[in-house]
Structure 1
Protein backbone atom coordinates (compact mmCIF):
# COMPACT_ATOMS: atom_id res chain seq x y z
CA UNK A 1 0.00 0.00 0.00
CA UNK A 2 1.31 3.42 -0.91
CA UNK A 3 0.67 6.15 1.63
CA UNK A 4 1.09 9.68 0.40
CA UNK A 5 3.17 12.11 2.38
CA UNK A 6 1.61 15.08 0.58
CA UNK A 7 -1.21 17.13 2.04
CA UNK A 8 -3.16 20.01 0.64
CA UNK A 9 -3.61 23.13 2.73
CA UNK A 10 -7.17 23.80 3.85
CA UNK A 11 -8.25 20.15 3.85
CA UNK A 12 -9.66 18.74 7.05
CA UNK A 13 -12.21 16.28 8.32
CA UNK A 14 -14.75 14.73 5.99
CA UNK A 15 -13.70 16.85 3.01
CA UNK A 16 -10.08 15.65 2.98
CA UNK A 17 -10.74 13.04 0.27
CA UNK A 18 -12.44 15.66 -1.87
CA UNK A 19 -9.62 18.13 -1.30
CA UNK A 20 -6.97 15.53 -2.15
CA UNK A 21 -8.53 15.15 -5.59
CA UNK A 22 -8.18 18.82 -6.47
CA UNK A 23 -5.07 20.85 -7.14
CA UNK A 24 -3.95 24.41 -7.44
CA UNK A 25 -6.52 26.65 -9.06
CA UNK A 26 -9.39 24.26 -8.35
CA UNK A 27 -12.01 24.12 -5.64
CA UNK A 28 -10.26 23.95 -2.28
CA UNK A 29 -6.91 25.07 -3.71
CA UNK A 30 -3.74 23.54 -2.35
CA UNK A 31 0.00 23.66 -2.22
CA UNK A 32 1.03 19.97 -2.48
CA UNK A 33 3.34 20.38 0.54
CA UNK A 34 4.76 17.41 2.43
CA UNK A 35 3.61 16.63 5.94
CA UNK A 36 7.01 15.12 6.77
CA UNK A 37 9.90 16.92 8.38
CA UNK A 38 12.99 17.62 6.25
CA UNK A 39 14.65 14.60 7.87
CA UNK A 40 11.63 12.44 7.01
CA UNK A 41 11.78 13.61 3.40
CA UNK A 42 15.48 12.79 3.31
CA UNK A 43 14.89 9.26 4.63
CA UNK A 44 12.13 8.68 2.07
CA UNK A 45 14.34 10.06 -0.73
CA UNK A 46 17.25 7.79 0.26
CA UNK A 47 14.96 4.74 0.34
CA UNK A 48 13.45 5.61 -3.03
CA UNK A 49 16.94 6.20 -4.43
CA UNK A 50 18.03 2.73 -3.34
CA UNK A 51 14.83 1.14 -4.64
CA UNK A 52 15.12 2.90 -7.99
CA UNK A 53 18.83 2.22 -8.44
CA UNK A 54 18.82 -1.42 -7.36
CA UNK A 55 15.56 -2.11 -9.17
CA UNK A 56 16.97 -0.70 -12.39
CA UNK A 57 20.27 -2.57 -12.12
CA UNK A 58 18.81 -5.91 -11.03
CA UNK A 59 16.09 -5.93 -13.68
CA UNK A 60 18.56 -4.97 -16.39
CA UNK A 61 20.79 -7.82 -15.24
CA UNK A 62 17.88 -10.27 -15.45
CA UNK A 63 17.05 -9.13 -18.98
CA UNK A 64 20.68 -9.29 -20.11
CA UNK A 65 21.11 -12.82 -18.73
CA UNK A 66 17.85 -13.96 -20.31
CA UNK A 67 18.91 -12.65 -23.71
CA UNK A 68 22.48 -13.94 -23.46
CA UNK A 69 21.86 -17.54 -22.32
CA UNK A 70 19.44 -19.55 -24.45
CA UNK A 71 19.05 -22.27 -21.84
CA UNK A 72 17.18 -19.75 -19.65
CA UNK A 73 14.44 -19.35 -22.26
CA UNK A 74 11.69 -21.47 -20.77
CA UNK A 75 7.97 -20.68 -20.36
CA UNK A 76 8.36 -20.13 -16.60
CA UNK A 77 11.31 -17.80 -17.09
CA UNK A 78 9.33 -15.89 -19.69
CA UNK A 79 6.80 -15.07 -16.97
CA UNK A 80 9.67 -13.83 -14.80
CA UNK A 81 10.90 -11.68 -17.68
CA UNK A 82 7.44 -10.15 -17.94
CA UNK A 83 7.59 -9.21 -14.24
CA UNK A 84 11.12 -7.90 -14.66
CA UNK A 85 10.13 -5.65 -17.58
CA UNK A 86 7.16 -4.33 -15.64
CA UNK A 87 9.32 -3.57 -12.61
CA UNK A 88 11.96 -1.95 -14.80
CA UNK A 89 9.35 0.37 -16.29
CA UNK A 90 8.18 1.36 -12.80
CA UNK A 91 11.79 2.12 -11.84
CA UNK A 92 12.24 4.28 -14.93
CA UNK A 93 8.82 5.96 -15.24
CA UNK A 94 7.51 6.05 -11.68
CA UNK A 95 10.18 6.14 -9.02
CA UNK A 96 12.02 9.27 -10.26
CA UNK A 97 8.90 11.41 -9.69
CA UNK A 98 8.55 10.21 -6.09
CA UNK A 99 12.28 10.63 -5.52
CA UNK A 100 12.26 14.20 -6.82
CA UNK A 101 9.18 15.07 -4.75
CA UNK A 102 10.82 13.70 -1.61
CA UNK A 103 14.05 15.62 -2.16
CA UNK A 104 12.13 18.89 -2.49
CA UNK A 105 9.44 18.17 0.09
CA UNK A 106 6.61 18.85 -2.36
CA UNK A 107 5.05 17.42 -5.51
CA UNK A 108 6.90 19.03 -8.41
CA UNK A 109 5.04 18.17 -11.59
CA UNK A 110 1.49 19.28 -10.88
CA UNK A 111 -1.86 17.59 -11.33
CA UNK A 112 -1.07 16.19 -14.80
CA UNK A 113 2.15 14.67 -13.48
CA UNK A 114 0.25 13.18 -10.58
CA UNK A 115 -2.16 11.55 -13.01
CA UNK A 116 0.76 10.23 -15.10
CA UNK A 117 2.45 8.89 -11.97
CA UNK A 118 -0.69 7.08 -10.84
CA UNK A 119 -1.37 5.74 -14.34
CA UNK A 120 2.18 4.48 -14.87
CA UNK A 121 2.40 2.76 -11.49
CA UNK A 122 -1.03 1.16 -11.94
CA UNK A 123 -0.32 0.07 -15.50
CA UNK A 124 3.01 -1.51 -14.67
CA UNK A 125 1.68 -3.28 -11.61
CA UNK A 126 3.39 -1.54 -8.74
Structure 2
Protein backbone atom coordinates (compact mmCIF):
# COMPACT_ATOMS: atom_id res chain seq x y z
CA UNK A 1 0.00 0.00 0.00
CA UNK A 2 1.35 3.40 -0.89
CA UNK A 3 2.01 5.46 2.23
CA UNK A 4 0.94 8.68 0.52
CA UNK A 5 -2.57 7.25 0.18
CA UNK A 6 -3.04 7.08 3.94
CA UNK A 7 -4.36 9.96 6.00
CA UNK A 8 -4.03 10.04 9.76
CA UNK A 9 -7.46 11.18 10.88
CA UNK A 10 -6.98 10.03 14.48
CA UNK A 11 -4.58 12.92 15.16
CA UNK A 12 -7.06 15.65 16.06
CA UNK A 13 -5.92 17.71 19.02
CA UNK A 14 -2.39 16.27 19.05
CA UNK A 15 0.80 17.75 17.67
CA UNK A 16 0.49 16.67 14.04
CA UNK A 17 4.24 16.30 13.48
CA UNK A 18 4.57 13.94 16.44
CA UNK A 19 1.46 12.00 15.44
CA UNK A 20 2.61 11.67 11.83
CA UNK A 21 6.04 10.48 12.95
CA UNK A 22 4.52 7.98 15.38
CA UNK A 23 2.01 6.77 12.79
CA UNK A 24 4.46 6.23 9.95
CA UNK A 25 4.39 2.60 8.93
CA UNK A 26 2.20 1.63 11.89
CA UNK A 27 -1.37 0.67 11.08
CA UNK A 28 -2.48 -0.06 14.65
CA UNK A 29 -3.74 3.25 16.17
CA UNK A 30 -5.91 5.72 14.36
CA UNK A 31 -8.38 5.51 11.55
CA UNK A 32 -6.79 5.24 8.12
CA UNK A 33 -8.63 6.13 4.95
CA UNK A 34 -7.51 6.00 1.35
CA UNK A 35 -7.55 9.22 -0.63
CA UNK A 36 -8.42 7.41 -3.86
CA UNK A 37 -11.96 7.20 -5.12
CA UNK A 38 -13.48 3.75 -5.70
CA UNK A 39 -12.78 4.25 -9.42
CA UNK A 40 -9.16 5.12 -8.65
CA UNK A 41 -8.82 1.98 -6.53
CA UNK A 42 -10.29 -0.08 -9.36
CA UNK A 43 -7.84 1.39 -11.89
CA UNK A 44 -4.91 0.64 -9.58
CA UNK A 45 -6.23 -2.90 -9.01
CA UNK A 46 -6.56 -3.52 -12.76
CA UNK A 47 -2.99 -2.29 -13.34
CA UNK A 48 -1.67 -4.48 -10.51
CA UNK A 49 -3.63 -7.43 -11.89
CA UNK A 50 -1.99 -7.00 -15.31
CA UNK A 51 1.45 -6.53 -13.76
CA UNK A 52 1.08 -9.60 -11.56
CA UNK A 53 -0.39 -11.83 -14.26
CA UNK A 54 1.93 -10.87 -17.11
CA UNK A 55 4.95 -10.72 -14.80
CA UNK A 56 4.24 -14.25 -13.59
CA UNK A 57 3.68 -15.61 -17.10
CA UNK A 58 6.71 -13.91 -18.67
CA UNK A 59 9.10 -14.89 -15.89
CA UNK A 60 7.83 -18.45 -15.93
CA UNK A 61 8.36 -18.54 -19.70
CA UNK A 62 11.96 -17.36 -19.27
CA UNK A 63 12.60 -20.12 -16.73
CA UNK A 64 11.05 -22.79 -18.97
CA UNK A 65 13.09 -21.66 -21.98
CA UNK A 66 16.29 -21.57 -19.94
CA UNK A 67 15.71 -25.10 -18.66
CA UNK A 68 14.64 -26.48 -22.03
CA UNK A 69 17.42 -25.14 -24.29
CA UNK A 70 20.95 -26.02 -23.23
CA UNK A 71 22.49 -23.37 -25.49
CA UNK A 72 20.98 -20.67 -23.22
CA UNK A 73 22.91 -21.95 -20.21
CA UNK A 74 25.73 -19.45 -20.04
CA UNK A 75 27.13 -17.54 -17.04
CA UNK A 76 25.60 -14.25 -18.15
CA UNK A 77 22.20 -15.88 -18.61
CA UNK A 78 22.45 -17.30 -15.12
CA UNK A 79 22.44 -13.71 -13.84
CA UNK A 80 19.26 -13.12 -15.81
CA UNK A 81 17.73 -16.24 -14.26
CA UNK A 82 18.52 -14.85 -10.82
CA UNK A 83 16.62 -11.66 -11.68
CA UNK A 84 13.79 -13.71 -13.19
CA UNK A 85 13.36 -15.83 -10.05
CA UNK A 86 13.38 -12.72 -7.87
CA UNK A 87 10.74 -11.04 -10.02
CA UNK A 88 8.65 -14.21 -10.10
CA UNK A 89 8.67 -14.31 -6.29
CA UNK A 90 7.54 -10.67 -6.15
CA UNK A 91 4.67 -11.54 -8.49
CA UNK A 92 3.65 -14.45 -6.27
CA UNK A 93 4.34 -13.09 -2.77
CA UNK A 94 4.02 -9.32 -3.11
CA UNK A 95 1.62 -8.22 -5.83
CA UNK A 96 -1.44 -10.18 -4.60
CA UNK A 97 -1.45 -8.20 -1.31
CA UNK A 98 -1.45 -4.87 -3.17
CA UNK A 99 -4.06 -6.14 -5.60
CA UNK A 100 -6.42 -7.24 -2.82
CA UNK A 101 -5.94 -3.98 -0.92
CA UNK A 102 -6.71 -1.95 -4.03
CA UNK A 103 -9.82 -3.99 -4.76
CA UNK A 104 -11.22 -3.29 -1.29
CA UNK A 105 -9.84 0.25 -0.93
CA UNK A 106 -8.09 -0.59 2.34
CA UNK A 107 -5.29 -2.73 3.71
CA UNK A 108 -6.79 -6.14 4.44
CA UNK A 109 -4.21 -8.21 6.29
CA UNK A 110 -3.28 -6.07 9.27
CA UNK A 111 0.03 -4.95 10.64
CA UNK A 112 1.66 -8.39 10.36
CA UNK A 113 0.69 -8.57 6.70
CA UNK A 114 2.09 -5.10 6.14
CA UNK A 115 5.40 -6.22 7.65
CA UNK A 116 5.40 -9.36 5.47
CA UNK A 117 4.59 -7.31 2.36
CA UNK A 118 7.45 -4.90 3.03
CA UNK A 119 9.86 -7.72 3.85
CA UNK A 120 8.98 -9.77 0.75
CA UNK A 121 9.26 -6.83 -1.64
CA UNK A 122 12.51 -5.64 -0.08
CA UNK A 123 14.03 -9.12 -0.04
CA UNK A 124 13.19 -9.85 -3.67
CA UNK A 125 14.34 -6.45 -4.89
CA UNK A 126 11.10 -4.79 -5.95
TM norm structure 2: 0.88
Superposition pairs of residues 76-91 of structure 1, within 5 angstroms: 76-91=76-91
Q: Which runs of 5+ in 2 are unaligned?
A: none
Q: Deviations over 1:23-61 (max 9, x none)?
A: 33xxxx223432211111011101100100000000000
Change (3 A) 1:53 1:125: same
Match of 1:48 in 2: 48
Q: After superposition, what is the alpha-carbon deviation per residue over 1:72-109, rounded to whole angstroms, capped at 9, x for unaligned?
A: 00001000000000000000000000000000000000
SS in 2 for 1:106: coil
TM (norm. structure 1) is 0.88
SS at match of 1:36: coil
Please name the residue that 1:122 is paired with: 122
In structure 1, distance between residues paired with 2:31 and 2:10: 9
CA distance in 2 between counterparts of 1:110 and 1:8 reads 16
Question: Aligned pair count?
Answer: 121
Q: Give 1:66's aligned residue.
A: 66
Q: Normalized per residue, which structure has more helix?
A: 2
- Paired position in structure 1 for 2:26: 22
Q: Distance in 1 between matches of 2:88 and 2:32?
A: 27
TM-aligned CA distance change 1:110 to 1:35, over 3 Å: same
For residues 26 and 95 of structure 2, what CA distance do their matches in structure 1 show?
Answer: 22
